[in-house]
Amino acid sequence: MSRQFSTNELEQIIRQYRPIIGFTIKKALGPQYPEWEDIVQDVLTQVISKLQKGEFREECSLGTFIYTITKRRIIDCIRQKAKASSEKIEEIASLGGPEEDFLKKERAEIISQTLFKLKPKFREILYLYYYKELSREEVAARLGLSVRQVSERLYYAQKILARSLRKFFPEKNSNFALLRRLKK
């Protein structure tokens, strides 16, 4: 049986899934892909159109339904990209306005400050694991630690960074408030 959505719910879905669709497309195609924002628009339009036509039959979750549409679109883009002649892809400005860019810069600044306030033993782990992209086992071997110790230090550093962001940017509402309501 197909699920019907109110106009309000559809509007909420657009707002809440835009960042997730954007994140996935940007990762798959790269932020330099010239039309990734248009692709996000296309996907959202497709999602809303299908929901309005009653094509969501709750055989899977709403998130999975939207993910499937997003994934198909990404595959189409990759195929088109492979066929197209090579062109110089210029970097484009982000869709976010000045307010969003400012927020991103503030968050980046907080993260940087917190990183440098960490003790050297934590910074070293972060450097080897994220910058050098070594595995936990390789990091452990390099530093003469157990894998468990590496995991604990990573986890601690991540907690500190998350806490610093929460302190300055407390989240008001979960992005998924609607999703939880829709699941009921």
Partner 1 sequence: MSKCRFEELIDGYLLNKLDTEEAERFEEHFFNCSRCFNQLQQREEVIKAIKEHGPALIREVKPAQSRLQRWADEVVMIFANRQWLVAPTIAAFLIVIFLIFSPFSKEEPPSFVLNGENVLRGQAINLISPIIDVNQPPLYFEWKKQGEDLEYKISLYDSRNELLWSSTTKETVIILPEDIRKKMKPGEKYSWQVKAISSNGILVAVSSRVQFMIKDEN
Q: Footprint of partner 1 on this chain (CB under 8 A)?
A: 7-8, 10-12, 14-15, 17, 19-20, 23-24, 38, 41, 44-45, 48-49, 52, 61-64, 66-67, 70-71, 95, 97, 99-100, 107-108, 111-113, 115-116, 120, 123-124, 126-127, 129-131, 133, 158, 161-162, 165, 167, 171, 174-176, 179
State the Cα–Cα distance between residues 88 and 176, nearest whole angstrom.
38
Q: Give the torsion sign (CA, 91, 97, 100, 102).
A: positive
Q: Say if residues 2 and 55 touch (Cβ distance below 8 Å).
A: yes
Q: Specify the residue, 124 or 149, whose C-beta has the smaller distance to partner 1.
A: 124
HSE of 80 in the Cβ direction (CA atoms, 13 Å)? Answer: 10
In the complex, minimum distance from the CB of residue 129 to partner 1, in angstroms, rounded to a whole number: 8
In the bound state with partner 1, the residue whose beta carbon lies nearer, of 86 and 173, is 173
- Reading the block at residue 96, the tokens are 């976010």
62-73: b (≥16 Cβ within 10 Å) or e: beebbbebbeeb
**What's the min distance (Å) between Cβ of 15 and partner 1?**
6
In whole angstroms, the minimum distance from the beta carbon of 84 to partner 1 comes to 19
Min dist. Cβ of residue 41 to partner 1 (A): 5
Distances (CA, A) of 162 to 45, 114, 135, 148: 34, 10, 22, 21
Residue 50 has a CB neighbour count (10 Å cut-off) of 15
Q: Considering the complex, what minimum distance in angstroms separates the CB of residue 120 from partner 1?
A: 7
